[in-house]
Amino acid sequence: MEITVTINGKSHTADVEPRTLLVQFIREQVGLTGTNIGCDTSSCGACSVHVDGEAAKSCTLLAVQADGCSITTIEGMAAADGTLHPMQQAFMENHGLQCGYCTPGMVMAATSLLAENPNPTEEEVRIGLEGNLCRCTGYHNIVQSVLACAKS
């Protein structure tokens, strides 16, 4: 099936199998490998992207369901001149990442969280990120990163 999806401001038209997941389309056909796959049950959130401005796990959507949508992946977050997005900067300054594998999904989920709730409490951040798993940081510095980003 032919679909047209805008990813990071660029339009992509492609032929996809109906069973192709959005994350597979992004990684394998568009070649944007910053979006990671960490599970096969939509549990880990490593593949989180923005679909029409809201965070979504890109393994929960078929590519055909994203036809006509505008998607932002981690590659679309930093400015063209290389300046990191404030959330990326906050993760860096607060050591909110170690191995980095959950990080793109975390950053996408966290920016979506702040878009909905610009001034969250620590507990609201923890609950807001419960769909994204991290095995390295114990979440402490991820939460600090999001709170710091909200403050700035």
Is the distance from CB of 40 to CB of 22 less than 8 angstroms?
no
Rule CB under 8 A: say whether 125 interacts with other proteins. Answer: yes
CA atoms of 51 and 38, how far apart (whole Å): 19
Stretch that binds other proteins, among 50-58, 61-69, 84-92 (CB under 8 A): 84-92
Q: Which one of 62, 77, 149, 150 is in contact with other proteins (CB under 8 A)?
A: 77
With tokens 């909905």, the residue in question is 116
75 sits near other proteins (criterion: CB under 8 A): yes
Q: Report in angstroms how near the CB of residue 19 gets to other proteins at its nearest.
A: 8
| Euclidean distance between CA atoms 50 and 8, whole angstroms | 10
- Of residues 120, 87, 115, the one with CA closest to residue 103: 87
33 binds other proteins (CB under 8 A): yes
Least distance to other proteins from the beta carbon of 49, Å? 11
Position 79, amino acid: A
Asked if residue 72 binds other proteins (CB under 8 A), the reply is no
Binding of residue 112 to other proteins (CB under 8 A): no
Shorter beta-carbon distance to other proteins: residue 68 or 101: 101
Residue by residue, what is the 3-state secondary structure of 91-144? HHHCCCCCCCCCHHHHHHHHHHHHHHCCCCCHHHHHHHCCCCCCCCCCCHHHHH
Binding site for other proteins (CB under 8 A): 17, 19, 27, 31-41, 43-44, 46, 73-75, 77-78, 84, 88, 91-93, 95, 97-104, 107, 122-123, 125-127, 129-143
